[in-house]
Structure 1
């Protein structure tokens, strides 16, 4: 967690953290789509690129509400999770096994984002920023939907095929 003296500073620092994280995710998703072999997983990763671009735009709006420039601060958690995804792509057998690994890597990222956006929503409300909370809540909803979709694909056959 970033260092801060009060909730406003913590909120801003966490926004910078997730902003950097979303930018890293935007770089990773096309590569994951390229390595996915299941058409539905490829499509899900490609669609999530567009969704993540919208999430970055919403974060930029929140930065504007704070009268701050949209600037990221290194998110080591996301960088580590993206690195794990790269390991899956380089060290896993192509096909269903890689798809299962890619889903697991993507869900780890989604779970981190769900935790961060849930916290940011609560803090925005506490800080009297209902518009920011609304934007962050929209992203939180999308992250939960993406996680549910990935889980459905995994449980719907990809994990079974990988076995």
Structure 2
């Protein structure tokens, strides 16, 4: 009879999900940077790409700490969010609304990541994985900061430009 699944199994499963998501995000960010009109937004996407590489490195550390191989599990949610972003690029490329659309896509990604990292952090606390909690919290704080930066870019220029 198969062993009943527990929170530890759910943690590992969700960790594989966010690992896959981060790898997909790494591929999407340069495309978003190329499509952006504002230099500030282009630079922001490239900065976030570097940050995301750090998130992947931290996830490698988490896998190591829990004694599991770093591997991804297809995440349909992130695939859908990224596909929506690609649609925006296709439909609004070159228009005054492109940056506002890219920011909205990037924020959908950030909110997904914040939800995942917040859940993983809470589960790690419940499971007594203190070192893991610290790593996940670092990434969660960075994702929240990126979300705030995106909001500032949207409200300081991109939304007004799109409305013109």
TM over 0.5: yes
Residue 88 of structure 1 is matched in structure 2 by: 88
Q: How does 1:4-153 map to 2 (within 5 A)?
A: 5-153=5-153
Structure 1 residue 73: Cα displacement? 0.1
Structure 1 residue 94: Cα displacement? 1.5
Gaps of 5+ in 1: none
| Whole-angstrom distance in 1 between the partners of 2:41 and 2:9 | 38
* Contact 2:118–2:140 (CA under 8 A) maintained in structure 1: yes
* Contact 2:35–2:93 (CA under 8 A) maintained in structure 1: no
Q: Deviations over 1:65-124 (max 9, x none)?
A: 111110000011001000001000101142430110000000000000000000000000
Q: Runs in 1 of length 4+ with deviation above 2 angstroms? A: none
| Whole-angstrom distance in 1 between the partners of 2:128 and 2:76 | 29
Cα RMSD over matched residues? Answer: 0.9
TM-score (normalised: structure 1): 0.96
Partner SS for 1:96: coil
Partner SS for 2:40: helix
| Whole-angstrom distance in 1 between the partners of 2:156 and 2:6 | 45
Bigger Rg over Cα: 2
* Contact 2:100–2:162 (CA under 8 A) maintained in structure 1: yes
